[in-house]
Amino acid sequence: MKTDTARQQQSSETEVAIVGCGPAGAVLANLLGLCGVSVLVLERESAAYPLPRAVHFDDEVMRCLQTIGLTERVLPHTRVSPGMRFVDAKGRLLLDWSKSMDVGPQGWSASYRFHQPDLERILREGAEARPNVDVRLRSEVFAIGQDDDSAEVKYEDLSNGTIKSCRARYVVGCDGARSLVRRLIGSSLDDLGFHERWLVVDALLKRPVPSLGEHSVQDCDPVRPATYVRGVGNRRRWEIALLPSEDATAMAAPEKVWRLLERWITPEDAELERAVSYTFHSAIADRWRSGRLLIAGDSAHQTPPFLGQGMCAGVRDAANLAWKLARVLRVQADDALLDTYESERSPHVRAYIELAVRLGGLINTKAAEAAIPGGMACEEPARMETIKPLPGPGLAAGWIGLTGQVAPQPRLKDGSLLDDYVGYRFAALVQTEFAAKLSPAVLDRCAHKNITIVTDEAPDLQSWLRAEGAGAVLVRPDRYVLGGARTPQEMETLIAAV
């Protein structure tokens, strides 16, 4: 029996409390730690979930990992992906979504496969190594209150039953689809209409099976749609639609699973790591902030997996929010800056979810019914290009022709990547000729506002600026373009916005 002394409340203070240490929470902790913000991370579980979940991330995520200094640790656990193909029930190609495996404009390849437990371990270790970040496992949050100055988080240390509390300037809920923080905000979910049961099977190959190929494959079989994903190492995944009449538990039994997999592999080829049914959802929270409480990741949105953008969206949330929190906490910006988090991120993630829902419809539909010309299935498969939606209304300044785009990351003349030179701050990318037109006062204001000026004569950087008709472009810490300048006067307006 616990004594009153053992269960007495212990209190602490921090600038930001993060509830949940999945990918979104861990990335946010690393980014805030990089800014010198004091962070308390409260995670209910004692360790990262040991089995596969997300299996794909993109160049934007890798760029974020670069910012927090973890790419060298993550890269050995990844594999560049050539993209995805959609085929009909007879194996004919309907839609080709291949991606270049070369390094692209972001400084990284477009698509990576990975094993989520590896990534989560590296992210947590990165956060724990930062002196201003305190990661507390087995800590279950059960209540949060707020006033004009701070929020109070109450939680139980599950290792000994002690009730503790923490005062934080802001609290960010990265606590998953059943988010407590979302409920406390008073936010409901906007249902985007996709709810389907799928069996997710992870297998470990015992020998090479060349017929599986390197591409991910969406089998658009209207009877039983399925997805094949080539993972890292010997890992392979299948996601197989369950029929309305099928019992999810029964279908996860090994004999049933092997019957479903027999068109691809047999027990001689692989062993089953796990088989579990999921209901894929599509939803967005209608409110991401209430005063000092905010939400990110699965707490704010859920998507079907067909685009591989679920975890990516959570990392983008963290990247958008971290620098804004840091500026507000350092009194470099008004609290209203945090309102641009939802206004920018919600429409952006909605665009990805809506496309994933449409692809889910394609996977479940015959080619003709999916508005793909029938002849293309055999002779000219449709090509799909990767979408890059712009953020919703938010921050903009100067000439807005490029506002909201992700700035490219070329290599500079010395061979270094742009972000490594800039660091985690604003950057002014400037044409060489345009730089000569800027007054010393403008350059002084950039230095005063901690804006890195990049006038490097790297061909890729200078040619991009010329092609876009910009003398200079101001890039935010999350690598999105705030605005551009075509004249010295526009440059002054641009700098004044920081």
Domain harbouring 492, CATH code: 3.40.30.120
User: Is residue 45 predicted with pLDDT exceeding 80?
Assistant: yes
Considering the domain boundaries, does residue 99 fall inside one? no
User: Is residue 68 predicted with pLDDT exceeding 90?
Assistant: yes
Same domain, 347 and 430: no
Considering the domain boundaries, does residue 5 fall inside one? no
Considering the domain boundaries, does residue 173 fall inside one? yes
Q: Please return the burial class of 102, using the count of CB atoms within 10 Å of its CB with bins 0-12, 13-18 and 19+.
A: exposed
- Give yes or no for a contact between 341 and 289, defined as CB atoms under 8 angstroms apart: yes
Dihedral angle computed from the Cα positions of residues 430, 436, 437 and 441, in that order, rounded to the nearest 10 degrees: 90
Summarised one tens digit per residue, pLDDT across range 177-187 is 999 999 999 99
State the average pLDDT for the chain: 93
User: Domain ends where: 362, 381, 404?
Assistant: 362
Number of folded domains that form the chain? 2
Considering the domain boundaries, does residue 105 fall inside one? no
Report the range of poorest mean pLDDT among 130-139, 381-390, 442-451. 381-390
Same domain, 139 and 17: yes
Report the range of poorest mean pLDDT among 30-34, 45-49, 259-263, 288-292. 45-49
Q: Read off φ and ψ for residue 135, nearest 5 degrees.
A: -100, 120
Report the range of poorest mean pLDDT among 8-12, 193-197, 252-256. 8-12
Give the whole-angstrom CA distance, residue 413 versus residue 81: 29
Considering the domain boundaries, does residue 129 fall inside one? yes
CATH code assigned at 314: 3.50.50.60
Considering the domain boundaries, does residue 120 fall inside one? yes
Same domain, 348 and 462: no
Same domain, 30 and 132: yes
Same domain, 172 and 299: yes
Residue 152 CB coordination number (10 Å): 17
Same domain, 352 and 440: no
Q: Read off φ and ψ for residue 170, nearest 5 degrees.
A: -145, 150
Summarised one tens digit per residue, pLDDT across range 364-380 is 764 434 444 443 444 56
Same domain, 22 and 171: yes
Two structure tokens written together for 115: 């094993």
DSSP-derived secondary structure letter, 431:
-
pLDDT of 234: 97
User: Is residue 423 predicted with pLDDT exceeding 50?
Assistant: yes
The residue-averaged pLDDT of 445-459 equals 92
Two structure tokens written together for 415: 């061979």
Higher pLDDT among residues 360 and 70, named by residue: 70
Two structure tokens written together for 132: 């201003």
Strands (E), 384-479: 427-430, 452-454, 472-475
Same domain, 145 and 47: yes
Q: Can you list the pairs that 251-255 forms with residues at least 24 positions away whose Cβ atoms lie under 8 Å?
A: 251/199, 251/277, 252/199, 252/276, 252/277
Same domain, 358 and 439: no
Same domain, 186 and 116: yes
Report the range of poorest mean pLDDT among 55-64, 369-378, 391-400, 450-459. 369-378
Q: Domain of 155?
A: 10-80+111-190+283-362
